[in-house]
A and B are shown apart, each in its own frame.
Chain A
Amino acid sequence: MISVLVDILSWTSFIVGGFFLFVGSLGMVRLVDFWARLHAASIIDSAGVGLILLGMMLQGGVSLVTAKLALIVLFLFITGPTASHAVANAAFMSGSRPHDMVEDVTATVPPKPNKGKPNKGKPKKAKAASSAKSSNTAKASKTIRKKT
């Protein structure tokens, strides 16, 4: 009875973890920009692999294997978000911003112009957005949002 229950739980977490792996890898290919793709990649790290390892721990029972898997989960949950943070931090510091971000309310670091692309720096963008708001045409603000 209890073994059937454990089997059901572990296979459920296997399937859900596999679903998260699939969704994460699909998102890494299909999502719009770097930040959304980074989010998808970190879903693979935490939810997908975490649930699959949880299923393995349930299959392993109380044993040395389960302890080792728990250590793997622990280190994965420390290192995965750290790696995502490092990548995101490097991208943010080098001036990348989400593609539909209009106002930079959080930035202490001004975004830098990308190589070969026109300058999309903070002051210019803010001025353009405010002027669009003052002229009060929805279409103009929409085009600016698309351009940024």
Chain B
Amino acid sequence: MDHHLILRVITKILVAPILLYGLYVQFHGDFGPGGGFQAGVIFAVGFILFGIVFGLRRLRRIFPDYVVHQLVALGVLLFAGTGIVNMALGGNFLDYNVLGEKGYQGQHWGIIAVELGVGVTVFGVMMAIFYSFAGRPPSLDDKEW
């Protein structure tokens, strides 16, 4: 790994802006381009870059496998739970108007909650895909490069 010095330095510089940009895309999604799917992918890319450069073991210390798998389910739970809450408040499934005092306020909150669910699920799925690809036993040892 000692010949990867430049990659490690650049990764340390880049991971935090990538995560910040992912959050920006997530919470700016109802005003401009962006949304849950793209934000989840960008947020996952930050961690995947970390995992590629610093090794899968250190990434698994941050996000163990079971956390990733539960994040996948948690996002779907957020999405469906928003719909169920709307039904409990007297509207239809995913009928955001009942969430706020005025209709558009409720739509604002509802869209943020649903997009957060989408983002969490996409993040979890991306990390799970990366784990299942990168966790295979390598056909070529790192020293052989």
Taking Cβ atoms with an 8 Å cutoff, the residues of A that contact B are: 75, 78-79, 82, 85-86, 89-90, 93-94
Residues on A with beta carbons closer than 8 Å to the beta carbon of B14: 75, 78-79
* B31 interface residue per 8 A CB criterion: no
Interface of A is mostly: helix
Contact among A75, A82, A93 for B7, CB-based, below 8 A: A82
Residues on B with beta carbons closer than 8 Å to the beta carbon of A79: 10, 14
* B61 interface residue per 8 A CB criterion: no
Known: A82-B10, A86-B6. 7 other contacts (CB 8 A): A75-B14, A79-B10, A79-B14, A82-B7, A85-B7, A86-B7, A90-B145
Docked Cα-Cα span, A111 to B113, in Å, equals: 55
Docked Cα-Cα span, A82 to B111, in Å, equals: 38
Q: How many interface residues does B have (CB within 8 Å)? A: 9
Within B8-62, the residues touching A (CB, 8 Å) are 10, 13-14, 17
> Are A75 and B17 in touch, CB under 8 angstroms?
yes
Residues on B with beta carbons closer than 8 Å to the beta carbon of A82: 6-7, 10
Docked Cα-Cα span, A75 to B13, in Å, equals: 10
Residues on B with beta carbons closer than 8 Å to the beta carbon of A89: 3-4
- Which residue of B has the minimal Cβ distance to A74? B17
Residues on A with beta carbons closer than 8 Å to the beta carbon of B7: 82, 85-86
- Which residue of A has the minimal Cβ distance to B7? A86
> Are B10 and A78 in touch, CB under 8 angstroms?
yes
Docked Cα-Cα span, A124 to B60, in Å, equals: 45
> Are A93 and B10 in touch, CB under 8 angstroms?
no
Residues on B with beta carbons closer than 8 Å to the beta carbon of A90: 145
> Are A94 and B145 in touch, CB under 8 angstroms?
yes
Q: Which of B3, B6, B17, B145 has the most CB of A within 10 A?
A: B145
Given contacts A75-B17, A78-B13, contact A85 B145 (CB under 8 A): no
Residues on B with beta carbons closer than 8 Å to the beta carbon of A85: 6-7
